[in-house]
Amino acid sequence: MRPWPGTPYPLGATYDGVGTNFTLFSEAGEWVELCLFDDEGNEERVRLPEVDGFVHHGYLLGIGPGQRYGYRVHGPHQPEQGLRCNPNKLLIDPYAKAIDGEVKWHESLFGYPFGDPDARNDQDSAGHVPLSVVVNPFFDWANDRPPKIPYNETVIYEAHVRGLTMRHPEVPERLRGTYAGLAHPVVIDHLKKLGVNAIELMPVHQFVTDHGLVEKDLRNYWGYNTIGFFAPHDGYSALGHDAGQVQEFKGMVRALHEAGIEVILDVVYNHTAEGNHLGPTLSMRGIDNQAYYRLVEDEPKYYMDYTGTGNSMNVRSPHTLQLIMDSLRYWVTEMHVDGFRFDLAATLAREFYDVDRLSTFFDLVQQDPVVSQVKLIAEPWDVGPGGYQVGNFPPLWTEWNGKYRDTARDFWRGEPATLGEFASRFTGSSDLYKEDGRRPYASINFVTAHDGFTLTDLVSYNDKHNLANGEDGRDGADDNRSWNCGVEGPTDDPEVNELRERQRRNLLTTLLLSQGVPMLLHGDELGRTQQGNNNAYCQDNELSWVDWTLLEKNQPLLDFTSGLTDFRKKHPVFRRRRFFQGRPIRKGEELRDIAWFTPAGEEMTEQNWEDGFGRCVSVFLNGKGIPDLDQRGMKVEDDSFLVVFNAHHEDIEITLPGEGYGPEWAVVIDTATGEIAAFPQDEPTIPAGGSVTATARSVVVLQRMGAE
Residue among 129, 108, 128 at smallest CA distance from 119: 108
Active site residue 343: yes
d(CA 428, CA 442) in angstroms, rounded, equals 8
The full DSSP string for 502-561 is: HHHHHHHHHHHHSSSEEEEETTGGGT---TT-S--TT--STTTS--GGGHHHHHHHHHHH
Report whether 622 contacts 640 (CB < 8 A). yes
642 contacts: CB under 8 Å, gap ≥ 6: 597, 618, 619, 620, 621, 656, 657, 661, 662, 665, 701, 702, 704
Report whether 526 contacts 582 (CB < 8 A). no
Is the sign of the CA dihedral 458, 459, 463, 465 positive or negative? negative
Q: What value, to the nearest 5°, has the Cα angle with vertex 513 and ends 481 and 649? A: 45
Separation of CA 51 from chain center: 39
Active site residue 379: yes
3-class DSSP state for residue 245?
Answer: helix
Report whether 475 contacts 469 (CB < 8 A). yes
End-to-end CA distance of the chain: 81
Beta-bridge mates of residue 58: 22
From the list 343, 399, 639, 664, the catalytic residue is 343
Going by their DSSP bridges, the two strands 517-521 and 156-159 should be labelled as: parallel
Strand 68-74: give its sheet, edge to edge: 43-47, 31-37, 68-74, 131-133, 98-100
Report whether 589 contacts 625 (CB < 8 A). yes
Q: Is the peptide bond before 10 cis (omega within 30 degrees of 0)?
A: yes
3-class DSSP state for residue 345?
Answer: helix
Q: Which amino acid does the sequence have at 137?
A: P
Q: What value, to the nearest 5°, has the Cα angle with vertex 295 and ends 294 and 296? A: 130
From the list 266, 379, 525, 639, the catalytic residue is 379
d(CA 333, CA 348) in angstroms, rounded, equals 22
Q: Which amino acid does the sequence have at 189?
A: D
How many Cβ atoms from other residues are within 10 Å of residue 630's Cβ?
A: 10
List, by residue number, the catalytic residues.
343, 379
